[in-house]
Amino acid sequence: MKRIVLLSLAGLFFAGSVFAQDDLLADLKSEDSAKVKENITIATFKSTRIINMHSVEMTGEGNLQFMIIHHFGAIWDNNEGATNFGRLFGLNAGFANTYMSFDYTPIRWMNLGVAFAGNSTLEGTAKFKILRQQSGVHNYPISVAWVSTANFYTAKSSESPNDLYWNRFSYLHQLLIARKFSNAFSLQLTPSMVHRNIVAYGIENAHNVYSIGIGGRMKLKEKTALTFEYTRQLNMYEDIIDKTGEVVSYSPNLFSIGYDWDTGGHIFQFFLTNSAYASNLAQLSVNPVKDNFGQWSLGFNLNRSYSVKHKVKTQ
């Protein structure tokens, strides 16, 4: 009888312990679920470029990205007549600008790049991630990044063959402010400043050229999207004296529309733009005037990322 009583008491004690442990685990799970978590927004844009302009995105830490940006000739020249069919809408025009760059992200918030920018120019770029859109522990409604580009013209000038190397440098600084409004739609505001170390003398000429731009992405399907860009140059585009002494005017409006296709290994971007230049610095300061839609150009961006470190950290 005593054994039965003792076994019964032991069973009650064991059952009570199990229920107490279950209650404790439930309390811990409830406490953990009540904690505020960090929700960082990713993939505001799929590529490091919206179309022509830099996006707030950069490759993951330890990644090396190779990018080709190619602009063809005018899709239809009114002076060429039937020859335009042979030009194949600018794809076979014999005129193109190609931009090839290598970008590496040594740490999560910084990206460094070098590029062959076409027309005998080289470029170096540094991009810094300042703020990341997120909710939870911190609530930031936007992502912010900064891009600085140094452009060096390598060819000697026929007018000034002995000019100082310092005079061949130009710079571009951009603040990138973006928001991902939903899984399908993102917008970015991009104020920019181009600085040239030397400009021709003239009343309208200035060392600094300012512009403001907006770009966006609308997701169509899981791997495809439509993109657009519009940038307005704010000064130094009308009746400017160039280095030859001629008075010229530039187009203050830069338009681009594009189609993104994520193939899994590459991001392929096909676009139509009113600039034949592939370098942002030229697009935002000396873009030729386009009198009609036929003078617009087709182009594409193609990029591929490679893991340099054994373990690549995501953004």
**pLDDT 10s digits, 293-313:** 888 999 999 999 888 876 555
Residue 9 counted as domain residue: no
Task: Give the structural domain span for 119.
Answer: 44-304
How far is C-alpha 175 from the geometric centre of its chain's CA atoms?
11
Q: What is the pLDDT of residue 25?
A: 56
pLDDT mean over 237-260? 90
- Residue 208 belongs to domain with CATH number: 2.40.160.40
- Per-residue pLDDT of 141-161, as tens digits, reads 999 999 999 999 888 765 555
- Per-residue pLDDT of 55-82, as tens digits, reads 999 999 999 999 999 999 888 777 777 7
Residue 39 counted as domain residue: no
Distance CA 171, CA 207 (A): 10
- Per-residue pLDDT of 260-270, as tens digits, reads 999 877 889 99
DSSP 272-298: EES----SHHHHTT-PBP--SGGG-EE
Residue 13 counted as domain residue: no
pTM: 0.83
How many structural domains is the chain composed of?
Answer: 1
Residue 258 counted as domain residue: yes
Residue 309 counted as domain residue: no
Q: What is the pLDDT of residue 102?
A: 97
How far is C-alpha 73 from the geometric centre of its chain's CA atoms?
23
Q: CB-hemisphere CA count at 13 Å for 277?
A: 21
Distance CA 74, CA 80 (A): 11
> What would the 3-class secondary structure string for 25-55 be?
HHHHHHHHHHCCCCEECCCCCCCCECCCCEC
Residue 253 counted as domain residue: yes
